[in-house]
Structure 1
Amino acid sequence: MTAPRLLVPLSLTLLAACAQHPLQTVELDAESECPQRLKVGQALTLTLPGNPSTGYRWRIENPAASILKSLGPEVYSAPDDTDVVGSAGSSTWRYLASSAGEAQLVLVYQRPWEAEVAPVQSFECKVIVR
C-alpha cells in the first residue's frame, strides 16, 4: 500500500479514538471545590443558588477570560417541584478552558442598582488550565 492510502485509514482510526474519549465536563457549585484543574478543551459548568425576585443577581466580576471562554449567557432555572412565585433557583454559566494558565473566576451577588453597597455574597475560584 502507498503512503497516501495508509494515511486515510490511519487518520480515520485516530479521529474515532478521539471521539470515543471526550473530555468530561466539570461541574462546579462550591468554593470548596477550588482550586479547579482543567485541561485545554474541557468544559466547566458553574451553578450557584439565587433568587432574582429579590433583586439580587450574580454579577461576573472577573471572568478569567485569559483562560476561559464563555459559552453563552447566564441561565436561570427554578426547581421543577415548585409553583411558588419568587422561590429560589439557580444560575448556571458554561465555559470552555481555552488556553493554559491560571486565573481567578470571581462572581458577586448584589442588586445591580446598588453598586456602591458591598455584595451580600461572593464566589471566588482559582482555575488552573493545563
Structure 2
Amino acid sequence: MYKRALLLAAIPAAVLLLSVASAIGGEGSGASVALTKKDGGSKIKVNSGSIIQIGLPENGSTGYAWYFDNLSVDYFEAVKDKTVTLLPDEKTVGAPAFATWVLMAKKKGKSELKLRYYRIWEGPQSAVDTFNVHVEIE
C-alpha cells in the first residue's frame, strides 16, 4: 500500500514542479531544468537566467530534511522553496513529502549544487544522503 501511495504521489509532485516552472517562467531568460534524485552526480549546462528546479523526497517526521551545502549566492538566486506531503490526507503522521527548490542561474561560470539529508540537531557531518549536480552556466 505504501509503494502504491508513493507511486500515486509522484504525479502531484511532477505537477508541482511543472506548475512552479510555469508560474515563474517569465522571470528567467533561459529554459527551465527540473532535477530529481536520479539526476544526482550529473553535470548540466544552462544559460544565465535559466531556472533550475530541484525536487527531492523527504520525511520530516523523522527529523530528516534536505539542506543546501554552501549554495553559491554568486551563481544562484533562490527564488522559491516548498515542501508538500505526498499523501492525500496531510494529517497522516510520518507521511512522505517532496521538497522543491527553484533557483535562477545568475552569471556565467561553474558551480555545484549540493544538498545533504540530515537531522538539523545532528549537523551536516551526520548526513545519511547527499545530492549534487555540477552546473556550468553559459
Q: Quickly name the TM-score band, shorter chain normalised.
A: 0.7 to 0.9
Aligned-partner residue type, residue 86 of structure 1? G
Question: How many Å separate the matches in 2 of 1:92 and 1:43?
Answer: 13
What SS does the aligned partner of 1:65 have? coil
> Does the Cα contact within 8 Å between 2:30 and 2:46 map onto a contact in 1?
no
Question: How many Å separate the matches in 1 of 2:124 and 2:53?
Answer: 29
Aligned position for 2:47 = 39
| 2:134 pairs with 1:119 | no
| 2:31 pairs with 1:24 | yes
Question: How many Å separate the matches in 2 of 1:41 and 1:105?
Answer: 16
Return the offset for 1:62.
2.2
Choose between structure 1 and 2: higher helix proportion.
2
Aligned position for 1:68 = 76
Question: How many Å separate the matches in 2 of 1:109 and 1:124?
Answer: 11
Q: Which moved more, 1:107-116 or 1:38-47?
A: 107-116
Return the offset for 1:82.
4.5
> Does the Cα contact within 8 Å between 2:40 and 2:132 map onto a contact in 1?
no
Aligned-partner residue type, residue 83 of structure 2? Y
Instruction: Tell me which stretches of 4 or more aligned residues in structure 1 moved more than 4 Å.
Output: none
Structure 1: tracts of 5 or more residues without a match: 1-18
TM-score normalised to structure 2 length: 0.70
Equivalent residue runs for 1:80-95 within 5 Å: 80-83=87-90, 84-95=92-103
Q: Which has the larger radius of gyration?
A: 1
Instruction: Describe the shift of the 1:40–1:81 C-alpha distance in structure 2 as closer, same or farther (beyond 3 A).
Output: same
TM-score normalised to structure 1 length: 0.74
Question: How many Å separate the matches in 2 of 1:64 and 1:105?
Answer: 8
Question: How many Å separate the matches in 1 of 2:115 and 2:124?
Answer: 16
Question: How many Å separate the matches in 1 of 2:67 and 2:35?
Answer: 17
Question: How many Å separate the matches in 2 of 1:27 and 1:33?
Answer: 14
- Identical counterparts, % of pairs: 25
Instruction: Describe the shift of the 1:47–1:114 C-alpha distance in structure 2 as closer, same or farther (beyond 3 A).
Output: same
Instruction: Describe the shift of the 1:85–1:60 C-alpha distance in structure 2 as closer, same or farther (beyond 3 A).
Output: same
How many corresponding residue pairs?
A: 109
